[in-house]
């Protein structure tokens, strides 16, 4: 009796089968790429649009709250002729070096310092504002040239100050109207980006700082487009670049310093705007 031999069919995969697997792999890769692209797009939208919207709305609410607290809903700025006649004593105030986490640059060559320009006018003696608490919003900065109205808070913490769309005051630098250097930092991109257009400021533009007791008008004096992120000299009591020789000041005065990152969307360098106190108007 013959044994029955079973024949097992052999399937030979040809080019069509290999092409099918390749097509599935390509399709799967395309789906993964599209998914990753959508996730990245959502992250970009969140950073460039949503964080700006949230921070700007929160900052505007804080400005309105401060104005209600001060009883000044009009938001008017001090003009050049409204300040008191200041004395001639110079009080450099306190100031100190420190890093600039928000990004900043220096001012241009010294254009208003020295005997030929006269001593900078100090603010009149007055009852000083109480020392602000850490992370507390206690002033409003207005820059008409670029349409900015933003709260000023104590400290330069990203989470508690800068990422809320506020401008941060460097610790150990002067307060508004004091002798020395009232130094501020702000984001240039994302989280409200209050200093986005800081590079558009030029000599003569006004920087108005309002507090509970007074309105101070500073005038832009120098702008430096780029300096190192570690150039701590720009926020000292007598601001002067430690990197860019000849940029800054050499004698005490009543200064304001605005710092932010440059170029846009990077934090490699710093952009600095310096101004001098022009007038003070009590509330």
Query: In the chain, where are the structural domains located?
Result: 68-282
Helix (H) or strand (E) holding 117: none
* Annotated active-site residue in 149, 191, 240, 270: 270
Q: What is the pLDDT of residue 131?
A: 77
Quick check: is 149 catalytic?
no
Q: What is the pLDDT of residue 119?
A: 36
pLDDT reading at 112 higher than 80: no
* Of 237 and 34, more confident: 237
Strand partners, 270: 227, 261
Closest Cα to residue 277, out of 215, 218, 220, 235?
218
The two beta strands, 137-143 and 214-228, are unpaired
| Fold assignment, 68-282 | Sortase; Chain: A; (2.40.260)
pLDDT reading at 229 higher than 70: yes
Which 3 state secondary structure label does DSSP give 4?
A: coil
How many CB atoms sit inside 10 A of residue 192's CB?
Answer: 26
Here the tokens at position 236 are 């000292």
Contacts of 98 (CB under 8 A, 6+ apart): 170, 171, 172, 232, 235
Here the tokens at position 125 are 């003696």
Q: What is the pLDDT of residue 73?
A: 46
Average the pLDDT over 169-175 and give the result.
97
Q: How confident is the model at residue 6 (pLDDT cuts 50, 70, 90)?
A: low
pTM for the model stands at: 0.69
Quick check: is 187 catalytic?
yes
Taking the C-alpha atoms of residue 214 and residue 177, their distance in angstroms, rounded to an integer, is: 9
Q: What is the pLDDT of residue 20?
A: 72
Quick check: is 133 catalytic?
no
Q: What is the pLDDT of residue 44?
A: 54
Average pLDDT, the chain: 78
Q: What is the pLDDT of residue 108?
A: 30
* Annotated active-site residue in 169, 187, 240, 281: 187
Average the pLDDT over 78-90 and give the result.
33
């Amino acid at each position: 009796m013959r044994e029955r031999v079973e024949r097992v069919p052999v399937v030979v995969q040809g080019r069509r089968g290999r092409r099918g697997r390749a097509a599935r792999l390509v399709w799967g890769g395309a789906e993964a790429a599209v998914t990753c692209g959508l996730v990245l797009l959502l992250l970009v939208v969140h950073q460039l649009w949503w964080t700006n919207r949230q921070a700007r709305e929160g900052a505007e609410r804080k400005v309105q709250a401060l104005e209600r607290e001060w009883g000044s809903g009009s938001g008017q700025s001090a003009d050049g002729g409204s300040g008191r006649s200041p004395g001639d004593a110079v009080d450099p105030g306190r100031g100190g070096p420190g890093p600039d986490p928000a990004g900043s640059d220096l001012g241009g060559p010294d254009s208003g310092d020295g005997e030929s320009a006269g001593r900078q006018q100090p603010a009149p003696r007055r009852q000083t504002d109480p020392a602000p608490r850490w992370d507390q919003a206690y002033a409003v900065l207005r820059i008409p040239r670029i349409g900015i109205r933003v709260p000023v808070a104590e400290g330069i913490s990203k989470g508690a100050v800068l990422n809320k769309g506020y401008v941060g005051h460097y610790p150990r630098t002067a307060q508004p109207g004091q002798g020395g250097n009232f130094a501020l930092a702000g984001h240039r991109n994302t989280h409200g980006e209050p200093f986005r257009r800081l590079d558009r400021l030029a000599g003569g533009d006004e920087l108005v700082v309002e507090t509970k007791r007074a309105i101070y008008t500073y005038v832009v004096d120098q702008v430096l487009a780029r300096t190192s992120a570690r150039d701590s000299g720009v926020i000292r009591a007598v601001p002067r670049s430690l990197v860019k020789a000849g940029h800054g000041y050499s004698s005490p005065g009543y200064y304001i310093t605005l710092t932010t990152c440059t170029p846009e969307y990077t934090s490699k360098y710093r952009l600095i705007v310096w101004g001098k106190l022009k007038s003070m108007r009590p509330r």
